[in-house]
């Protein structure tokens, strides 16, 4: 397979174990690389800090949707039972908030769940049907016992030779150039 006409996607480096991967991620972050990611078969405690990742915005998205569900459910019931169709049933007050709890609760949970689902899709840039990393046979190890860092060619500091040398110095046991189709 010729790589002369293909565009370079990233340089992929494999590391021996999670401890070396975390140290390499810290070095990559301190070196100033922005477009890179670490891959492992399981979550590694401390990887977010090592990569310098910010806190997720998902919590705020879920809270916003939950508040919309809460206020929307309450407003709908108050409007229908107090303003639009007031019915006096057994002398009970029209605005009886305990009666509104089940519907308000259910709409809060429903919209928070929708916010979570679609927020994750949005934040993770999904759906993404193809990733050039899938062209690497070595990358299949990430589902079992492989630990990788991929630095994308679009990164401002990226240089084929310097980046490969940097990853080698960071402790990589295998380095591969991954090309787009």
| Residues 116 and 164 grouped into a single domain | no
| Residues 100 and 72 grouped into a single domain | yes
Give the pLDDT confidence of 76-89 residue by residue, as tens digits.
999 999 999 998 88
pLDDT at 158: 95
pTM confidence score:
0.77
Q: Are strands 36-39 and 8-15 parallel, antiparallel or unpaired?
A: unpaired
**Domain assignment of residue 152, yes or no:** yes
Long-range contacts of 52-56 (CB under 8 A, 24+ apart): 56/123
d(C-alpha 42, C-alpha 144), whole Å: 9
Give CA torsion, residues 128, 129, 135, 140, to 10 deg.
80
pLDDT at 155: 95
> How many other C-beta atoms lie within 10 A of the C-beta of residue 167?
24
| Residues 69 and 97 grouped into a single domain | yes
**In sequence order, what are the residues at sequence separation of 6 or more whose Cβ sits closer than 8 angstroms to the Cβ of residue 132?**
9, 10, 178, 179, 180, 181
| Residues 72 and 111 grouped into a single domain | yes
**Domain assignment of residue 24, yes or no:** yes
- From the list 50, 6, 31, the residue with the least C-alpha distance to 157 is 31
**Domain assignment of residue 88, yes or no:** yes
pLDDT at 3: 58
CATH code: domain of residue 22: 3.30.70.1510
**Domain assignment of residue 159, yes or no:** yes
Domain that residue 91 falls in: 58-123
**Domain assignment of residue 52, yes or no:** no
**In sequence order, what are the residues at sequence separation of 6 or more whose Cβ sits closer than 8 angstroms to the Cβ of residue 61?**
115, 116, 119, 123
pLDDT at 157: 95
Residue 140 structure tokens = 């299949």
Residue ranges, the chain, pLDDT below 70: 1-4
| Residues 119 and 65 grouped into a single domain | yes
**Domain assignment of residue 50, yes or no:** no
The structural domain count of the chain equals 2
3-state secondary structure of 149: strand
**Domain assignment of residue 173, yes or no:** yes
Contact between 178 and 12 (Cβ < 8 Å): yes
| Residues 62 and 98 grouped into a single domain | yes
pLDDT at 163: 96
Q: What are phi and psi of 96, to 5 degrees?
A: -110, 90
3-state secondary structure of 38: strand
**Domain assignment of residue 141, yes or no:** no
């Amino acid at each position: 397979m010729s790589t002369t006409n293909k565009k370079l996607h990233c340089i992929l480096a494999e590391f021996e174990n999670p401890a070396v991967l975390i140290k390499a991620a810290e070095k990559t972050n301190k070196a100033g690389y922005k477009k890179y990611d670490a891959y492992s078969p399981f979550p590694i405690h401390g990887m977010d800090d090592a990569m310098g990742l910010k806190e997720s915005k998902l919590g705020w998205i879920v809270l916003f949707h939950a508040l919309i569900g809460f206020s929307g459910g309450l407003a709908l019931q108050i409007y229908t039972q107090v303003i639009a169709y007031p019915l006096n049933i057994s002398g009970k007050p029209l605005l009886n908030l305990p009666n509104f709890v089940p519907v308000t609760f259910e709409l809060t949970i429903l919209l928070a769940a929708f916010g979570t689902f679609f927020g994750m899709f949005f934040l993770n840039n999904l759906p993404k049907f193809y990733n050039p990393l899938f062209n690497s046979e070595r990358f299949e190890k990430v589902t079992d016992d492989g630990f990788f860092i991929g630095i994308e060619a679009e990164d401002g500091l990226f240089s084929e030779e310097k980046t490969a040398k940097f990853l080698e110095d960071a402790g990589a046991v295998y380095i591969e150039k991954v090309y787009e189709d």
